[in-house]
Every structure is written in structure tokens, then in C-alpha cells.
Structure 1
Amino acid sequence: MKVVVVGAGYAGAFAANRVAKRVKGAEVTVVNERPEFVERIRLHQQVAGTAVAATPLASMLRAGIEVRVGSVEKIGDGLVTLADGESIGFDHLFLAVGSTVRPLPGTVPVGTWEGAEQARAALAALPAGSTVTVIGGGATGIETATEVAEARPDLRVRLVGAAVADCLSGRARQRALAALHRLGVDVVDDGVEEVAAQDGGFGGLLRLRSGREIGSDLTLWAIVAGVPPLAERSGLQVDAGGRVVVDEFLRSVSDPRIFAIGDCAGVPGARFGCQTAAPQAGAAVEALARLAEGRAPEPYALHYVARCVSLGGKDAVAQFTQRDDTLRDRHIKGRTAVLFKKIVYVGTKYGTRKAVGA
């Protein structure tokens, strides 16, 4: 059986390792745009220069898995067509291209490896007293703003977003807002209409929805939204957000040979994140293994545990959730939450490499 995995983030790398481990006789090929495995949940640390978020992909995959570095142009009729014109045949395919960013011109997107590296270099070059503006009031924006503020106290850091920290609720949200205040981050409850960059760079004038204008020496885009267009370009049925419409076993309704997992899978109620990736990858591979063994597959079911947000390197908050991701009142904070987040970092990477825990 020839199995191709497109994308080698948390979902893709996990799926590749799990197939090699679980499906007897499978020949596994991974196609990824870069030769590194990127820990997206640590990109805010990459931006601030407090950690490295990339690991050689070869070290994350089991022996015998073939790696092809390149971009995919189209998937269809049992073939993966690469941008260079070459093609790879498959019996089954796991589409795991993740999510993407759609930044305003004049900003640096911190939700991608290339953007995080560009932001790190630009940040390191900023002189004391400069203003860094982070756009996005969700977890990515909060983590980026607090990490930069803690690493570079000589800079003025501003966070712009409507309903900042609304990914949390109650006392957990208040904890996040208090941490932003403690670190000197200026929170602007507003949206951004336009960024008028100066001299083609990433600093300039920001025009807010309220009509207010503010200046910035470096503007970072911290909103992750949407998915790459590969599925739609390939003719697979997608939902309004461009995610692959799947059945209860995570198979494309257009082509049952294709499983969609992670951020690009159109599972109702699922949110972007590594907490979605590994369980979906594990469930999809188990479905394939059971089919290969002549047994009926089991439906995938959402199961969330918590939402955890870093507040610099010395603070964090984690709010627990119901299985369907509904927020509960219970949360942890401070050193306990920092330890919890470190366990997430280490455990997610270890689980991806070993294909366990899902």
C-alpha cells in the first residue's frame, strides 16, 4: 500500500509515523515544503529569540519514511502533482496542510516559519525606544506581545485587537489581561483597517476602524485564519472556510482514498491547533488500518481538554474545557500553568515523533 502524507506539521508528521507503525507493509512518503518540522506553538518564542521552533524533519520521522521537499500543485486520480511537474502515486493520502495567515500589506505574519524568522530579524534590529505593534487579540497575539515585551523591555509593545483575550473567560481572561498590563503592553481594543508602511518596510501608520491613527516601527500580524487552497484547487469539496468536507471517519466526501486531518479538515466544532491535530491523525490512521484489516472503522469524536496561553516565559494561564471545547470555570495560572505549557511543548513534540497519545 502506497501512502502519501502532504504536510509535515503536527498532524502530518504524526500520521506518517503512525502509518509506518500501524499499517503493515505501507510505503510512506511525506511531501513538505521545507526540510524542517516547525513547532507552530513556539513561533512566538522564535520571534522573540527565546527559543528555536524548527527541528530537522528527518529526525522526527521513523526510519523508512521517504521525504520529498517541495510544494504540491494538485491532488487527484490517485496522483500527487508537485510544482516541479513530477508526480507521486498513492493508494491513500493524508492531507495535512494546516492553516495559514492572510496578513495586511505592511505587516509581518508571525504564524508561519518564514514570517517568524523575518520578524525575529526585524525585531533584533530595532533600537531601544521603538514601538512594536502586534495585531490580533487571540492566543497568538497575546503570546507574541508578552514574549516580546519580556525579552525586549526597552521597546514599547502594543497589542491591537477587538475583545482581546476572548479565547478565555472569567478569571482566566482577567489573568491574561493583567499580565499584559504588568509587562507594560498597551492594549488597544480596536481593529485595523489599513497599514501604511514606510519605504516598503514594516513600520508606518496604522489606521484603525474607529478612525484613530497610530504609528509603529514594526507591525506583526498575529491572526491565523483560513487554510491553503490546495484542496479547493484539487476539486475536493470544501466548506465556506476552504476546509475539506469529511465524513465521520475523516475521509473526503469527494474521494474516500483521501483523509483530511488537522486544521484543513472541515470537522464541525474543531478549532485550529495541535490539540486537534494529533487526535485527528491518530483516528484517521486507525480508520485506514481497520479498513486494511477488513474491519469497520470507528467514527472520530472531538475531545478537547484546555486552552493554554503563555504570558511570557515566567507566567501562563490554562483554562479547562468540556470535550466540545466549551470553557469551564476552572483554570490554573502562574508557575503551575508554565509547567503545564512546557509539558504541552515537550509532550506534543515527543508524541508526534513516537506517534503516541492519540
Structure 2
Amino acid sequence: MKVVVVGAGYAGMLAANRITKKVKTAEITVINPRPDFVERVRLHQQIAGTHVAATPLTSMLRDGITARVGTVEKIGDGCATLDDGESLAFDYAFLAVGSTVRPMPGTIPVGTWEGAEEARTTLASLPPDSAVTVIGGGATGIETAAELAEARPDLRVRIVGPSVADNFSHRARARVRAELRRLNVVIVDDGVTEVVDGVARLRSGAAFASDLTLWAIVAGVPDLAARSGLTVDTEGRALVDDCLRSVDDERIFVVGDCAAVPGARFACALAAPQAAHAADTLARLIEGRALEPYSLRYLGRAVTLGRKSAVAQFTHPDDTLRRTCLTGRTAVVLKELATRGGKYGARTGTGG
């Protein structure tokens, strides 16, 4: 039985490694644009030079899995067509291409490997007292601004967003903002309308110049599903049934950010359980057992604020906020364990 996995992020990697353990007859090929597994949640550390976010696929995939560097142009009818014209036939496929960024002209995206590398190179060349602006008040923007400010205290770092850290409860939000200020990050609660020649113009009419402007907003998904004729939602995510199969083709499982799971937001924490459930579903299909629906469940959300501080906010299963949050060293340990656990689960096919 031939299985093709498109994408080698958290979801694709875990799915491939789990299938090879559960479906012994599977011949698995993983197709990815680069020869590395990228820890997306560590890209801000890659930029700051505090951690290496890429690991070769060869050291992440279990024995017997074939890794193919390439880009899939279309998937469907039991075939994945690559950009070089080659086609790979499959009995089942896993679509795990994640989410993407659409950076504003004049900015460098931090949510992609290529953008992170460009930002890292530029950052390393900046002299003291240079200005760095991070656009995006969510987790990606917060972690990027904090990491850069701690790693390069000689720089002037600014974070801009309509309401920075507004996805946390009042107490947690206040702590996040206090920690950013402790690191001398300037917080600007405003929206950016354009960036031209390093000058960001805000909705309020204000403007400021930067030597490096980073785009830290994740929005949308790659258009592979739509391009392949699969039914997608308004964000381009493939519609799936309750077992995470495309509503158009039951041979195609869709997992992670590119799956239109009701109630799901873009989050690496959802990739592992979705991939695990889809891999288990394939095993059940092969064995002729009854299928079980996927159940979405949130646990919390957290951000690191440099290497010595973090804030972890607990949530209800439906992602509404609980009052409880952890801060300081305890939150740092919790977030690091979760981050390491994500990579371990992807490599071993466990978790979920």
C-alpha cells in the first residue's frame, strides 16, 4: 500500500512516523520543499541566533520512509504531481502543508524558514542603536520581539499590533506586556497601513522608520487544496469529514492548519493530535475496524519572553480562557517541555 505525505512539519512528520509503526504494509513517501524538518515555533530563536530550528529529515524519519525534496503542484485521483512533472501514485495521502504568511511589502516574514534566515542575516549586520519593528501583536510577534530584545539589548525593538497580547486574559495580558517593557520593547497598539523604504505608517497617522521590519502574522494556507479542486473554506482550508478526510476524496486525509476543522485555529498544538488521529484512522480502515470521529480539544496557550520568562494561559477544551495562568520560571519550563515534546512526538510518531 502506497502512502504519500505532503508536508514535513509537525503534522506530516508525526503522521508518517506513526503510520509506519501501525501499518506494516505501507510504503511511505514524504514530500517536502526542503530537506529539513523546521520547528516553526522556534523560528524567532533562529532569527536571534539562540537556537537552530532546522533538523535534517533523515534524522527525523523512521527507517523505511522515503524523503523526497520537492513541491506538489496538484493532488487527487490517487496521484500527487510534483513541480518537476513527476507523479507519485498513492492509495492514501496525507495533506499537511500547514499555514502560511502574506507579508506586507517592505517587511520580512518570520513565519517561514526563508524569511527567518533572511531576518537572521540582516539582524546580524545591524550596528548598535538600530531600530527593529515587529508587526503583529499575537504570539509570534510577542516571542519575536522579546527574543530579539534579550539577545540584542543594543537594539531599539518595537512591537506593533492593534492590541498587543489581547488573546490572553487580563492578568496574563498584563504580565506579557510588563515583561516586554522589562526587556525595553516599545509597545504600540495600532495598525500598520504600509511600509515604504523602512518607514511604517500607522492607522493613527503616526509613522516611524526602522532598519529591519519583521512581519509576524500568520494568515491563510497554501493553495494546494484549492488548486487541486478540493472543496475549501474562505481561508483556503480543505473541508474534512469527522475523521479528517477530504469531503471530496476519502483517500486524502487533511491534518494541521490546512484542515478546516470546526473550531480550530492556526496552532502547532493541534497538529499532533490531528495527525495521530488520522494515522490511527488509516490503521482502522486497513484492519476493517469501526472508525472514530476526531474530537477537538484545547489545553492552553503560551508565549516565551526571552529565555528566562514566559506566560502560560490555561483554556477550556473549547479554547475559551480560564482565569488560571502561570508565569516566570514555571511557565518557561512548561513551554520548553511542550516545544521539545512537539519535536519528540513528530520524530517518534507518538502523542495526540
What interval of TM-score do these two structures reach, taking the shorter chain for normalisation?
A: over 0.9
Any idea what the Cα deviations from partners look like across 1:155-198, whole Å, max 9, x if unmatched? 0000000111012112111110100111111111111111102x
State yes or no: 1:247 paired with 2:234. Answer: no
Q: Which of residues 339, 348, 352 is equivalent to 1:354?
A: 348
Any idea what the Cα deviations from partners look like across 1:61-98, whole Å, max 9, x if unmatched? 10000111001110111110000000000000000000
SS in 1 for 2:234: coil
* Corresponding residue number in structure 1 for 2:67: 67
* Corresponding residue number in structure 2 for 1:200: none
* Corresponding residue number in structure 1 for 2:136: 136
Any idea what the Cα deviations from partners look like across 1:285-331, whole Å, max 9, x if unmatched? 11111111111110000111110100111000001111111110111
RMSD of the TM alignment (CA)?
0.7
Do 1:44 and 1:116's aligned partners in 2 also have CA atoms closer than 8 Å? yes
Q: How big is the shift at 1:210?
A: 1.4
* Corresponding residue number in structure 2 for 1:201: none
Q: Equivalents in 2 of 1:125, 1:273: separation in Å?
A: 32
State yes or no: 1:183 paired with 2:183. Answer: yes
Do 1:286 and 1:297's aligned partners in 2 also have CA atoms closer than 8 Å? no
Any idea what the Cα deviations from partners look like across 1:217-274, whole Å, max 9, x if unmatched? 1000000110000000000000010000000000000111000000000001112122
Give the counterpart letter for 1:252 in structure 2: S
Q: How big is the shift at 1:148?
A: 0.2
* Corresponding residue number in structure 2 for 1:215: 209
Give the counterpart letter for 1:344 in structure 2: A
SS in 2 for 1:114: helix
SS in 2 for 1:241: coil
TM-score (norm 1): 0.97
Runs of 4+ in structure 1 off by over 6 angstroms are none
For residues 88-107 of structure 1, the aligned pairs below 5 Å read 88-107=88-107
Q: How big is the shift at 1:24?
A: 2.5
* Corresponding residue number in structure 2 for 1:58: 58
For residues 1-358 of structure 1, the aligned pairs below 5 Å read 1-197=1-197, 204-358=198-352
Q: Equivalents in 2 of 1:81, 1:93: separation in Å?
A: 12
Give the counterpart letter for 2:309 in structure 1: D
Greater displacement, 92-101 / 165-174: 165-174
Structure 1 gap ranges (5+): 198-203
SS in 1 for 2:279: helix
Identity score, percent: 68
Give the counterpart letter for 2:227 in structure 1: R
SS in 2 for 1:242: coil
Q: Aligned residues, how many?
A: 352
Give the counterpart letter for 1:295 in structure 2: R
Q: How big is the shift at 1:209?
A: 1.3
Q: Equivalents in 2 of 1:227, 1:274: separation in Å?
A: 14
